[in-house]
Structure 1
Amino acid sequence: MVASAQHLITPLCSQAYLSDDVADLAQIYQPGINLCLIERQVDNELNSFVEHLLKLSNPVSFVESIDFASFDFFSLLPQTGYLPGYREFCKDVAALTALYCDLFELKRVGLRLNTLDHAMYPKFHVDSVTCRLVCTYGGVGTEWLEDAYADRRKLGSGSGGLSDELSGLILDDNAIHKMPPYAIGLLKGRLWEGNEQHGAIHRSPMLTSNSPRRLLLTLDFG
């Protein structure tokens, strides 16, 4: 659990900034920080909507580059509009998108919202983006690894085709962190100027019988 006061996890090359204040997302601009994680609480109505949605048999898939000022967020998932809490969910996605646009002075963003029943990217990696916002609405959250406990030489082809657990990438299994449900994560990628070699290391989590699906929101520069 993230403490109420912000604190730093300090690896060798770059840092993760943990907080429960959304204003601290601005810390991502600090040169030595490659991940900001803001833990938050949501109301019961929003949580109830997400729980119901994850039980539906039909998958959710929304992928679109949107103009924030003109996009109707209540049109996100019209097939689920009958569920209690739908409007609260749409308002929350709109609020996160507004934060992202304000932080990076963007008019357009790439918005992706999917239900997942498998680990889409099961190996630790760095994204070829500038900075991605990640939020898991219910289900198991994204895993990330501190620089101090990762051998970056083992990323990608450097793994020799071996799993993260066998390649030597992970220097301490206890250093693997998991983003809590509803937490806001900002992850610098390779395209952030000056951060080409220090993007945030992360992977999709393995799902469990108790939590077989997750609803993932990602936002990218549009």
Structure 2
Amino acid sequence: MPNVTPSDACLTRREIQLLVDCKPVRAPGHAMAMSRRVLPDRLRQAAHRHLATGPRLIVARGTFASIDTAVRQAFTAETQMLLEDMRILAQTFQSISGHDALRVRLERVVSDSCRKFHVDCVDLRLLCTYCGPGVQWTRDEGRTIAEAEPGAVVFLKGRCAPNWREDDTLRHRSPPLSVLPEGDRMRLLLTVDAADACGASADEPLVIAA
């Protein structure tokens, strides 16, 4: 994925801040970590452009290098800034999780998918909603619900995490879109996890769906 940010120093600062904010998720007793971000105008515009004109689904599995090469075809000059940010987030996930092989999924969401609070069958998952409402979570069975802002990077532990306990109270879900005004019922969601997350096979390393 090509480097299109103004300077390497800017990239480095962004990566360091993400690591500082999100690395604590590895510690015992931490089910979640989040890095709040205000997306630069160019990145926000690229994300909205991809949401409007890009593929509805991109899924790539493999090493960071192989994913880096495979997904370039799905982006244009107008959406390169989004591609670069995805690269940073994938590298951050790899650094924190220690996984050599990843699954990177960028999806246009238009329905109430995953509407029930739950815990994923993964060890660790990164979520970033570029457009639309972010992931929601609760620690009291839905009586109090928090929601990530667009651009926030959220790390969530799953059932396969070391020392995960069934009585861990944090659960998450996709925000219900059907309750929103019709023009707001769309999200652009990035998910990064292990290549074999949820029993996935690496036999199909790249999926691009229009």
TM-score range, shorter chain: 0.7 to 0.9
Deviation at 1:41, TM superposition (A): 1.7
SS at match of 1:125: coil
Match of 1:50 among 26, 44, 47: 47
Deviation at 1:213, TM superposition (A): 0.8
Residue 161 of structure 2 corresponds to 192
Q: Distance in 2 between matches of 1:219 and 1:72?
A: 13
Match of 2:92 among 88, 91, 99: 99
Deviation at 1:59, TM superposition (A): 4.9
Using a 3 Å threshold, how does the CA distance of structure 1 residues 129 and 89 change in structure 2: closer, same or farther?
A: same
Residue 61 of structure 1 corresponds to 57
Deviation at 1:77, TM superposition (A): 6.1
Q: Distance in 2 between matches of 1:193 and 1:199?
A: 16
Q: Do the aligned partners of 2:68 and 2:87 also contact (CA within 8 Å) in 1? A: no
Per-residue CA shift, 1:140-174, capped at 9, x if unaligned? 1111112xx12xxxxxxxxxxxxxxxxxxx3x2xx
2:73 equivalent to 1:78: yes
SS at match of 2:45: helix
Residue 143 of structure 1 corresponds to 136
SS at match of 2:31: strand
Using a 3 Å threshold, how does the CA distance of structure 1 residues 70 and 76 change in structure 2: closer, same or farther?
A: closer
Using a 3 Å threshold, how does the CA distance of structure 1 residues 59 and 70 change in structure 2: closer, same or farther?
A: closer
Matched positions, count: 175
Per-residue CA shift, 1:56-83, capped at 9, x if unaligned? 4x7521122121034335x53635415x
Deviation at 1:127, TM superposition (A): 0.6
Q: Distance in 2 between matches of 1:79 and 1:38?
A: 27
Could you tell me the TM-score, scaled by structure 1's length? 0.72
Q: Which has the higher helix share?
A: 2
Superposed CA RMSD in Å reads: 2.0
Q: Distance in 2 between matches of 1:80 and 1:47?
A: 15
Gaps of 5+ in 2: 1-16, 196-210
SS at match of 1:69: helix
SS at match of 1:133: strand
Match of 1:89 among 74, 82, 86: 82
Per-residue CA shift, 1:81-139, capped at 9, x if unaligned? 15x2x111111000000011111222210111110101211111111110110111111
2:188 equivalent to 1:215: yes
Q: Distance in 1 between matches of 2:48 and 2:131?
A: 7
Using a 3 Å threshold, how does the CA distance of structure 1 residues 144 and 77 change in structure 2: closer, same or farther?
A: farther
Q: Do the aligned partners of 1:139 and 1:181 also contact (CA within 8 Å) in 2? A: yes
Deviation at 1:199, TM superposition (A): 7.1
| Corresponding letter in the other structure for 2:138 | L
SS at match of 1:137: strand
Output aligned runs, 1:126-165, within 5 Å: 126-146=119-139, 149-150=140-141
Q: Distance in 1 between matches of 2:102 and 2:58?
A: 13
SS at match of 1:42: coil
Gaps of 5+ in 1: 1-20, 151-169
SS at match of 1:112: strand
Q: Distance in 1 between matches of 2:73 and 2:80?
A: 10
Runs of 4+ displaced beyond 4 Å: none
